Chain A
Amino acid sequence: MRKICYILLTFAVCWFAAYVAHAQTRDLKIPDQVSAGKGFTIPTSGSGDATFYLVGPGGASKRAIHLGDEVKVAPEETRTAGRYIAVLRAGGENTSKTFFVTPDKPAALNFLARPSRVPADKQDAISGVAFVFDGYKNLVLAPAPVNFSLSLDQSAPAVRSVPTKDGIAWTQMNSGRSQGAAQFVAGLPATDVAVRRVVQQVAGDACDLHMKAQNTGKAIVVETDPIRDCAGNAVPDGTIVTFTEVDNHGRSTVDARVKRDIARAELPLSEDATISAATGVVLGNEVHIGNGAAGGER
C-alpha cells in the first residue's frame, strides 16, 4: 500500500513540475502593443532547446533558442506596423501570442497636388492631399498637423494647417490672381519635412474681348485689343480667336492665334458686313463695315 502511495505521489510531483514548467513557457510575455522600430526581450523559463518564430506583415524570422534565456527581438524586426505572431515551439508544443506594432512619430510625407496647371483666380481649384508616414514607411494614424502653403513670387503665401485623419490631411485652395509657377508645399511642423509641388497658374478665360476693323481696300483687317483674363493676366500665345464676317454673300470665318496678347486676321472685302469675335465661351464686340460706316461698332 505504501509502495503504491509513493508511486502515486512521485507521479503527482512529476506531473505538477511538468505542468508548472509548461505553464511558464506557455505564456509569452509580450506587450500587446509595441512602437515601430523598438526592440524588446521576451523572458522564457524552463530548460532545453526551442524554436522561436516571429511573423509580421513585413518579415518572418525563425531561430533556435535555449529555454531559460531571454529572446531578443531586434528593432529591425518590428519596423513594419501591423499584427505580429510570435510562436515558441518547445518539445513539440507551440505557444503563440499576437501583438501589434504601432507607427512611430511622423517623419515623412507623400503629397498629391492637382492639377499641375490651373486658371488664375479660381476658387478651390487646387487640391492637395498629404499622407503622413513614420520613418519606417508606416501610415501614421494618430492625428498630426500638416501645413499647406501656396505662394507665387512676390506675393504673400496662402497658408493653412490641417490635422490628419487616419493618416491623411487634405485641402482645397484658390488659385492666385497672377499667372506663374506657384509653389504648393506640404510640411510637417517642428520638422524639416516639406514636400514641394509646382502648380502652373495660367490666365483664365478672356475677359472683355474687344476688336476693331479696318477696310484697307484689298481686305478687311481685324485686330483685337490686348486680350486679358478678368484678373488682368495676358492670355497665352496660341489662344484661338474666331472672327466671323456676315454679309449678303454669306458667312466667312477665320481662326486666328493670339500672338503677343493680340489676335489679328484678314477677312474678305465686303460692302456691307457685320464682323464679330469670340474666344472660347467669351463673345466680343460686333463691328459693322460698309455704306460709310467702316469700323462702326455695335
Chain B
Amino acid sequence: MLDQFMNRIILPCTRTLWILAASFAPFVLPVLADNTPPGVQLSTSHATPREVEDTTQKAIVRDYSAAWSALTEALVNNDTGALDSAFTGIAHDQFAARVRDQLKTGLSTQIIDRAHNLDAVFYSPEGSAMELRDTAQVEIQVMDGGKVIHSEQTTLHYVVLMTVAEDRWKVRVLQSVP
C-alpha cells in the first residue's frame, strides 16, 4: 500500500517539481547572482603616510561593499533611507538629492555591481580618513517607469573618501572621474 502510494503519487510529484525547478532555473539563478555582493579587491601598497592595518583593510572591504549595496538599493527603489547606514556628509546629501529627483520625475536606476578594484592612496596619520581609487565594473539601466531609456555595461573610475563613523567606515565622497 505504501509502495503503491510512493510509486503513484510521491515519485511523479517529486519528478514534476524537479522539472519545474529546472525550467525556472535560467530565470531564477541570474536574479540570485545579481543579489550576491560584488567582489571588492583592495590594495594598500600605495597608502601613505600610514600603513593600513589588517583589521582596517577588512573593514574597508566590508563597508565599501555595503555602501554599493546601499546605493544600488536607494537608486532602484528611490529610497533615501537606504543610504543612511553607509553614506555620510557630501556623498549622502548628493545621492539623497538624486533619489528625490528620481522620485519626482518617475525615474529609477538599476545598477548591477560586478566588481571593484580599490587602491588606497591616502590613510591619514591618526587613522580616521582614507582616500581610495576604485575601478568598478557595472551595468547601469536608467528607467522611466517601466521603460529602459539608457542601458550600458561599463568601467567607471571613482575617487572615494571614507571616514570613521560610529562603528564602521562610511563613504563621505564618491566622485566619478574620467
**Which residues of A come within 8 Å of B, CB atoms?**
32-33, 51, 53, 55-62, 80-83, 85, 87, 89, 94, 96, 98, 100, 102, 112, 114-115, 127, 129, 131, 133, 137-139, 141, 165-168, 170, 172
Contacts and interface: CB of A to CB of B under 8 A. Distances in A.
Given A60-B105, A170-B49, A112 B128 contact: yes
Given A55-B107, A83-B156, A139-B173, A166 B122 contact: yes
Interface size for chain B: under 10, 10 to 19, 20 to 34, or 35 or more residues?
35 or more
Given A87-B149, A138-B175, A58 B129 contact: no
Contact of A87 (B122, B133, B150, B177): B150
A55 to B, nearest CB: 6
Given A53-B107, A53-B142, A85-B142, A59 B97 contact: yes
B60 to A, nearest CB: 17
Given A81-B176, A127-B124, A170-B122, 13 more contacts: A32-B178, A55-B98, A55-B142, A59-B98, A60-B102, A61-B101, A82-B177, A100-B178, A137-B90, A141-B177, A166-B122, A167-B159, A170-B125
22 contacts: A32-B178, A53-B142, A53-B144, A56-B98, A57-B94, A57-B98, A57-B174, A59-B98, A83-B176, A85-B150, A87-B150, A96-B149, A100-B176, A112-B128, A112-B129, A114-B126, A127-B125, A129-B124, A138-B175, A139-B159, A139-B161, A172-B125
Contacts of A170: 49, 122, 124-125
Contacts of A56: 98
Interface in B111-127: 121-122, 124-126
Interface in B47-90: 49, 90
A79 to B, nearest CB: 9
Contacts of B177: 82, 100, 141
A129 B95 contact: no
B91 to A, nearest CB: 9
Interface of B is mostly: strand
A251 B176 CA distance: 68
A131 B176 contact: no
Given A85-B142, A127-B126, A129-B124, A96 B105 contact: no
A195 B93 CA distance: 22
Given A57-B98, A167-B131, A87 B142 contact: yes
B142 A58 contact: no
A81 to B, nearest CB: 6
A167 B157 CA distance: 16
